[in-house]
Amino acid sequence: MNKYTAFCGLDCENCEARLATVNNDEALRRRVAALWSELNGVEIPPESIHCVGCRIEGVKTPYCDFLCPIRACAREKTLETCGACPEMGSCEKLGAITRNNPEALRRLESENKREGVQA
């Protein structure tokens, strides 16, 4: 599985928080913080926009590191991604992502097919 595929199937490689981190791009960091603040209805300071990827060792945003229920569940179950979980199709936590981002679901399904995982 691509190391930049998040537990939920999102593409961390192209996530603007990761891009701001790896490129040390303060303007992008401020734009991401403003957008995420608006989308989530909470103030997210630019200083918290530091992440190298959900499944990669290193810095994470506070949400990804401590609050994301999907990441916590997958780590607790010691899954590479949610695609390896037999409950993937009925999981409400994962559904919150895949209902709005069918590409995330497709990514989980296709990468796990290549590896022979039956979810």
In the chain, pLDDT over 90 holds for what percent of residues?
88
d(CA 24, CA 14): 15
pLDDT in tens, 44-98: 999 999 999 999 999 999 999 999 999 999 999 999 999 999 999 899 999 999 9
Q: Is the pLDDT of residue 118 over 80?
A: no
Entry pTM: 0.87
Give the pLDDT of residue 1.
75
Q: Which residues contact 8 (CB under 8 A, 6 or more apart)?
A: 54, 70, 71, 81, 82, 94, 97, 98, 104, 108
